[in-house]
Amino acid sequence: MDMRVNIAGIEWKNPVTVASGTFGSGAEFADYVDLNRLGAVTTKGVANIPWAGNPTPRVAETYGGMMNAVGLQNPGIDVFCERDIPFLRKFDTKIVVNVCGKSGQDYCEVVERLADEDVDMLEINISCPNVKEGGIAFGQNPKAAEEITKAVKKYAKQPVIMKLSPNVTSIAEMAKAVEAGGADAVSLINTITGMKIDINRKSFVLANRTGGVSGPAIHPIAVRMVYEAANAVEVPVIGMGGIMNAEDAIEMILAGASAVSVGTANFHDPGVTMKIVDGIEEYMKAQGFESVAEMVGIVK
Amino acid sequence: MTKKRENAIVLSQERIAQDICSMWMKTGAALEAKPGQFISMYTNDGSKLLPRPISICEINREESSLRVVYRVTGKNTGTEEFSRMKAGDTIPVIGPLGNGFPLEKAAGKRAFLMGGGIGVPPILELAKQMDCGVKQIIVGYRDSEIFLRDEFEQNGEVYISTEDGSVGTKGNVMDAIRENGLEADIIYACGPTPMLRAIKAYAEEKGIECWLSLEERMACGIGACLSCVCQTKEKDHHSNVNNKRICKDGPVFLSTEVEI
């Protein structure tokens, strides 16, 4: 039985990675997870310079999920390259670096800087709902998404995954736009913009007022969008959104995802990714699948 | 890969004041726990995903058990679920988490051990383990619904403040210090931010070494998600900005390190 998947020419040992921002660069989770058993580690978004992020509270629990407005706090690409890449390279897993920026130039600077670094893939975050400039500004307009994809592709030496926002009318159109721009893969969904109000304090729970909703509450939306995107483009789709267990991950694969990212579930059980890898393998055995590729998108 | 989310077994549960519950649980987390650390407690309700960070109130290493004293924050909350648990029930936990209070700094000194509201419980294990010159425990409550008083009285000189004046000094812990003319060479404190802010100002004015246990809404509890940051004076080596992670770098900080 073959757990390996090929994402834009990069072979992962299994289809399971983590959603950017829920796992740091892996160091904090290494006590709970054998990083060697992940297909890839997708790192917290990194920008050209350090970002301080949003004021607190940055996080709130919601029914069947949570909201966050961390605001892409990150130490900047220099610290990332010096500290986080060497750390991750000690493990037998692929490194997917999530890149954020406030302008096209910001993204390109980081991508250019990473071109000669020992990382396997880049994931371009054009879908963060929690930063004012950049982020989602590129992720809600197909033309802007195509342009930013073209721009980063000029500098990228690694395959480029464009991370898409669910806060759009047509996810298929966005997926096609970044594919036209040269994306090697797409990942979706980022969080859905939400709001929570404290009725006793009569104010917003999050300092940022709005935040990105994640967790099992959004899983059916994510499955639908992964299905639509996978049927719209030729490039591989990395599916994410509320995956709590192996069943949720398999659902995503059957809908068309070539790999899956586990996000909020890491907060519910820091060791959950290991259970998901095992659970997918057990399902394949029980159902007689020889490879993950055989399962991808078979529900039409 | 040495740690995992494990089921603790509830040993006992009692309500010790209005909305305040005390639970003893058997857990491996007790073996390494220190005063000022916390555990992440998970609910068994699938609609509530995030762990509740709860400070450790007492540690019994021989029996591998921990005591947590926590506030039930309302109807249908995770803490309400915890409060309904009985001996023999299981509760998923990870921990101990965070750094804890630096006990050794108090050797031979006059110390203030200060707790306010639901910041009172972690002061108990601190008081039990602390070996210092003069141990002055100053704890503040809203009203006559005070808790852990007997335990504190077995472990040092106890001064109580209540907002409504029903027990001890009327006002807050700072009022209790003034009213009793107390002095210290080192301070340890846990409580609501306005209280910590006042203690920080007092300590810095007098040049007293002061350790504060901060709280903030958390998600992962292990330093990865960057939800529970606090502002720091100096650029932090990990974040490369003026933010430290309360769950991982704290919750206890030297008062002069942080902006609160």
Closest CB to B224: pick one of A29, A34, A65: A29
> Which residue of A24, A58, A216 is in closest CB contact with B224?
A24
**Side chain identity at B175, as an amino acid letter?**
D
pLDDT of residue A132: 61
- On chain A, the residues whose CB falls within 8 A of the CB of B243 are 52-53, 73
Q: Are B243 and A24 an interchain contact pair (Cβ–Cβ within 8 Å)?
A: no
pLDDT in tens, B188-246: 999 999 999 999 999 999 999 999 999 999 999 999 999 999 999 999 999 999 999 99
Q: Which candidate, A117, A122, A128, A163, places its Cα nearest to that of A40?
A: A122
Per-residue pLDDT of A71-96, as tens digits, reads 999 999 999 999 999 999 999 999 99
Contact criterion met (CB < 8 Å) for A216 and B46: yes
B171 burial (CB, 10 Å; 0-12 / 13-18 / 19+) is middle
Do the chains contact at B216 and A57, CB–CB below 8 Å? yes
Contact (CB<8Å) A68/B225: yes
Query: Would the pLDDT of B1 be above 80?
Result: no
pLDDT tens for each residue of A225-243: 999 999 999 999 999 999 9
pLDDT tops 80 at residue A134: no
| Amino acid in position B20 | I
Cα A257 from Cα A295, distance rounded (Å): 9
Per-residue pLDDT, averaged over A183-212, amounts to: 97
Residue B57 burial class via C-beta count within 10 angstroms: exposed 0-12, middle 13-18, buried 19 and up: buried
Cβ neighbours around A73 below 10 Å, total: 24
Question: What per-residue confidence (pLDDT) applies to A227?
Answer: 98
Identical fold, B6-97 and B103-215: no
Single out the residue of A148, A151, A130, A144 nearest to residue A173, CA to CA: A144
Domain ranges of chain B: 6-97, 103-215
Q: Do the Cβ atoms of A73 and B241 come within 8 Å?
A: yes
pLDDT score at A164: 96
Q: Do B4 and A270 touch (CB under 8 A)?
A: yes
Quote the radius of gyration of chain B (alpha carbons, Å).
Answer: 18
Q: Which of A50, A58, A270 is nearest residue B227 as measured by Cβ atoms?
A: A58
**Do the Cβ atoms of B228 and A56 come within 8 Å?**
yes
Closest CA to A279 of A28, A14, A42: A14
B217 contacts in chain A (CB < 8 Å): 56-60
What CATH number matches the domain at B6-97, 3.40.190.150, 3.90.120.10, 2.40.30.10, 3.20.20.70? 2.40.30.10
Closest-CA residue of chain B to A267: B220
Which chain A residues have any C-beta within 8 angstroms of a chain B C-beta?
21-24, 28-34, 44, 50-53, 56-61, 63-66, 68, 70, 73, 75-76, 79, 215-216, 264-271
- B77 CB neighbours in chain A (<8 A) are none
Contact A264 B49 (CB under 8 A): yes
Which of A22, A50, A269 comes nearest B5 by C-beta?
A269
Q: Which residue of B has its CA nearest to A65?
A: B49
pLDDT confidence bin for B130, thresholds 50/70/90: very high
- How far is the CA of B65 from the CAs of A241, B28, B86, B216, in angstroms? 37, 8, 15, 26
Band (pLDDT 50/70/90 cuts) for residue A39 is: very high
* Whole-number pLDDT of residue A128: 73
Residues of chain B with Cβ-Cβ distance to A32 below 8 Å are 1, 3-5, 94, 222
Q: What are the pLDDT digits (tens) for B32-47? A: 999 999 999 999 998 9
For residue B71, give both structure tokens.
């506030």
Range with the lowest mean pLDDT among A134-143, A291-300, B154-163? A134-143
What confidence tens digit (pLDDT) does each residue in B246-257 have? 999 999 999 999
Length in residues, chain A? 300
Interface probe for A, chosen from B215, B240, B259 (most Cβ of A below 10 Å), is B240
* Among B47, B217, B225, beta carbon nearest to A57: B217
Distance CA B79, CA B71 (A): 7
Chain B residues within an 8 Å CB radius of A44: 224, 226
ipTM for the predicted complex:
0.95
Residue A135 pLDDT = 65
Question: How far does chain A reach from its first CA to its final CA, in angstroms?
Answer: 24
DSSP state string for chain B: -----EEEEEEEEEEEETTEEEEEEE-GGGGT--TT-EEEE--S-TT--SPEEEE--EEETTTTEEEEEEE--STT-HHHHHHT--TT-EEEEEEEES----GGGGTTSEEEEEEEGGGSHHHHHHHHH---SEEEEEEEESSS---SHHHHHTSSEEEEEETTSSSSEES-HHHHHHHHT---SEEEEES-HHHHHHHHHHHHHHT-EEEEE-----SSSSSSS--SEEEESSPPTTTSSSEEETTTT-SEEEGGGEE-
> A53 and B219: CB-CB below 8 Å?
no
Residue positions of A annotated with a catalytic role: 128
User: For chain A, what is the HEC assignment?
Assistant: CECCEEECCEEECCCEEECCCCCCCCCCCCCCCCHHHCCEEECCCECCCCECCCCCCCEEEECCEEEECCCCCECCHHHHHHHHHHHHHCCCCEEEEEECCCCHHHHHHHHHHHCCCCCCEEEEECCCCCCCCCCHHHHCCHHHHHHHHHHHHHHCCCCEEEECCCCCCCHHHHHHHHHHCCCCEEEECCCEEEECEECCCCEECCCCCEEEEECHHHHHHHHHHHHHHHCCCCCCEEEECCCCCHHHHHHHHHHCCCEEEECCHHHHCCCHHHHHHHHHHHHHHHHCCCECCCCCCCCC
The CATH number given to B103-215 is: 3.40.50.80
Quick check: A21 and B223 CB within 8 A? no
Please name the member of A30, A50, A63 whose beta carbon is closest to the beta carbon of B240: A50
Mind telling me how many Å the CA of B33 is from chain A's nearest CA?
Answer: 17
Determine the residue of chain B that is closest to A33 in CA distance: B1
Please state, for a pLDDT cut of 90, what percent of chain B lies above it: 99
Measured distance CA(B103)–CA(B105) in Å, rounded: 5
Q: For an interface test with B, which of A267, A269, A273 has the most B Cβ atoms less than 10 Å from its Cβ?
A: A267
What's the mean per-residue pLDDT of chain A? 96
| Residues of chain A neighbouring B220 (CB-CB closer than 8 A) | 22, 28, 266-267, 270
Which residue does chain B place closest to A206, by CA atoms?
B217
Which pLDDT does position A138 carry in this prediction? Answer: 87
CB B9 within 8 A of CB B90: yes
The token duo for A249 is 């991950």
Please state the rounded mean pLDDT for residues A112-121.
98
Supply the pTM of this predicted model: 0.96
B220 and A28: CB-CB below 8 Å? Answer: yes
